[in-house]
Amino acid sequence: MIQAVRGTKDILPSEISTWHSLEELLRRIAGQFGFQEIRTPIFEHTELFARGIGETTDIVGKEMYTFFDQSQTSLTLRPEATASIARAVLEHTLLEKNPLLRLWYMGPMFRQERPQKGRFRQFHQFDAELIGSSYPEADVEIIALAYTLLRSLGLSSFELHLNSLGSISSRMRYRAALQQYFRPHIAAMSDDSKQRIETNPLRILDSKHPDDTPFLRDAPQLIDYLDDESRNYFEHVQKLLTALEIPYIVDYHLVRGLDYYCHTAFEFITSRLGAQNALGGGGRYDGLFEQLGGKHTPAIGFAFGIERLLLLLSEENKAVSKAQRTDVYIITLDDESRAIGMRLAQHLRSTSNFIVATDTLRRSLKAQMRDADRTQSRFVAIIGENERLNNTIILKEMASGAQQLLPLDNIPTLLRALDTTAVEQS
Ligand code: AMP
């Protein structure tokens, strides 16, 4: 038997209502913040991610699904959405029509990581990007959106970690200070660090390698290298968060290695999911658009992992969905009734929002009743020879067992019978 590729997952009908409810909530809250959906292709030119995420990152270095198509063009399944969104904004000159873009995106992402709980090779993200503003209000608006999403899901076991990477020039000074600090120790450090000291010294700080840990504790801290403008910016962000009653923890270890990140970096962390403890994160990336060949464009965004949100919801015993229930299950008892039953189903579906199911397995009355039970149907409508000849149906309410005989071709009467009971029930 052929099985699903390692690190990919089927989302089964029994799980889908949870996904739908979560997606609906994410859409609704993003809409409440004035954000609009954008959809970009699943694959892009490899170069977009190489430039937009950075050659020295793990994502680009080891995790991308890259392939050559028939015309030998190098393409990559997108590992994240920000680079694609920035590309789309530049390509369609969206900022010329509107100086501030509020965009969200939801869909599958692909990274060849080692699969484990909460970590997959195809996973889903919800992304939001606020493009065009260089003010702290934008940072806080985007954090407020992320925070509101988590709270609206009923989640509480998470912390917002916050740091400032400072302006790009203060980052450069910090980078030089790190190189200077690590250089005397580098011979004893891991191979990764030996490489990173030249390409991306900030990433050494993320290292879990035992050869590196002794040197990390006394490493210079970014906060000490922030210039006045960066400090003021960070304070302004914190003041606004406090005004909005969004709790946060300043975490000086939260860094992002890439040169085009600056100022605010944040992450939502939970202690309930084991090693994969990040629900989502984001930050300001004022240098990205230039990196992709556009004009200088301030922007900030975040991404949540949908699977991790679902894991935490189940960990916290929070349900976001109701299982789909059938309203009317149409039971037919002989060959000629079947066409009549299917026609009735079509009428009901086109004149109401009811969920209407038919058998299609030519099962016995008993087996069809069992199936109606399985789909938690509110009603069954039974059509046998008798009903067919008299142009009637038997409508039975499953909960009470109450039955009534109704005219088959009088849809309004039937809808009323279904509706009145629904109203009484609720
Ligand atoms: P990143 O783009 O790496 O900052 O990821 C943002 C969020 O996406 C993370 O906090 C996770 O919730 C989620 N995520 C990233 N990689 C994976 C993965 N391989 N499997 C599942 N979720 C992931």
pLDDT reported for residue 420: 67
Supply the residue whose CA is at minimum distance from atom 16 of ligand 1: 119
Is the Cα torsion angle 309, 314, 317, 320 positive or negative in sign?
A: positive
Above 60 in pLDDT, residue 422? no
Q: Is 130 left (phi over 0), alpha (psi -120 to 50) or beta?
A: beta
Give one DSSP letter per residue of 91-150, joined into a string. Answer: HTTHHHH-S-EEEEEEEEEE--PPPBTTB-SEEEEEEEEEES--SHHHHHHHHHHHHHHH
Q: Whose CA is nearest to atom 14 of ligand 1?
A: 305
Question: HSE-up of 150 (CA within 13 Å, CB side)?
Answer: 30
Q: What is the 358 CA–ligand 1 centroid distance (Å)? A: 41
Q: Check if 111 has its Cβ closer than 6 Å to any atom of ligand 1.
A: yes
pLDDT tens digit sequence for 197-224: 998 888 888 788 899 999 998 999 888 9
Residue 258: per-residue pLDDT: 67
Alpha carbon nearest to ligand 1 atom 11, residue: 305
Question: In the prediction, which pLDDT does 257 show?
Answer: 61
Residue 39 has φ and ψ, to the nearest 5°, of -125, 125
Higher pLDDT, 410 or 308: 308
- What the block records as the tokens of 45 is 């030119």
For the residues 80-106, what does the mean pLDDT come to? 97
DSSP state letter for 217 = T
Task: Kindly state if the Cβ of 305 falls inside 6 Å of ligand 1.
Answer: yes
Ligand 1 nearest atom to the CA of residue 121, by list position: 19
* Cβ neighbour number for residue 44 with a 10 Å cutoff: 18
Residue 260 has pLDDT above 90, yes or no: no
Determine the average pLDDT of the residues in 259-276: 89
Q: What is the CA radius of gyration of the chain?
A: 28
Please state the separation of Cα 199 from the chain's center in Å. Answer: 31
Q: Is the CB of 161 under 6 A from ligand 1?
A: no
Give the pLDDT band of residue 274 (cuts 50, 70, 90).
Answer: confident
Looking at ligand 1, which residue's alpha carbon is closest to its atom 17? 119
E strand or H helix at 171:
helix 168-182
| Mean pLDDT of all residues in 259-277 | 89
Does the CB atom of residue 123 touch ligand 1 within 6 A?
yes
Q: Which of 139, 123, 75, 129 is nearest to 102 (CA)?
A: 129
Average confidence score pLDDT of the chain: 93
Q: Worst-scoring range by mean pLDDT, 33-47, 124-138, 170-184? A: 170-184
CB of 227 closer than 8 Å to CB of 169 = yes
Residue nearest to atom 18 of ligand 1 (CA): 119
| Mean pLDDT confidence for 296-306 | 97
- Separation between Cα atoms, residue 61 and residue 248, nearest integer Å: 32
Q: What is the mean pLDDT of the segment spanning 283-312?
A: 96
CB of 279 within 6 A of ligand 1: the answer is: yes
Q: What are phi and psi of 330, to 5 degrees?
A: -95, 120
Q: Is the CB of 278 under 6 A from ligand 1?
A: yes
Q: Is the CB of 280 under 6 A from ligand 1?
A: yes
To test the pocket of ligand 1, the residue of 106, 119, 129, 206 to mutate (highest count of ligand atoms within 8 Å of its CB) is 119
How many CA atoms does the CB half-sphere of 169 hold within 13 Å?
A: 4
Centre of ligand 1 from the C-alpha of residue 280, in Å: 7
Q: What is the pLDDT of residues 221-237, one digit of tens each?
A: 888 999 999 999 999 99
Checking if the pLDDT of 256 tops 80, the result is no
DSSP code of 188?
G
Residue 425 clears pLDDT 70, i.e. is over it: no
Rounded to the nearest angstrom, the distance between the alpha carbon of 246 and the centre of ligand 1 is: 23
Q: How far apart are CA 279 and CA 304, in angstroms?
A: 6
Mean pLDDT of all residues in 183-200: 92
How would residue 424 be classed by pLDDT, with cut points 50, 70 and 90? very low
* CA of residue 161 to ligand 1 center, whole Å: 16
User: Do residues 311 and 269 touch, judged by C-beta distance below 8 A?
Assistant: no
Angle between helices 191-199 and 168-182 (to 10 degrees): 140
Per-residue model confidence (pLDDT) at position 402: 93
Residue 12 has pLDDT above 60, yes or no: yes
pLDDT band at 421 (very low <50, low <70, confident <90, very high): low
DSSP-based three-state secondary structure for 27:
helix
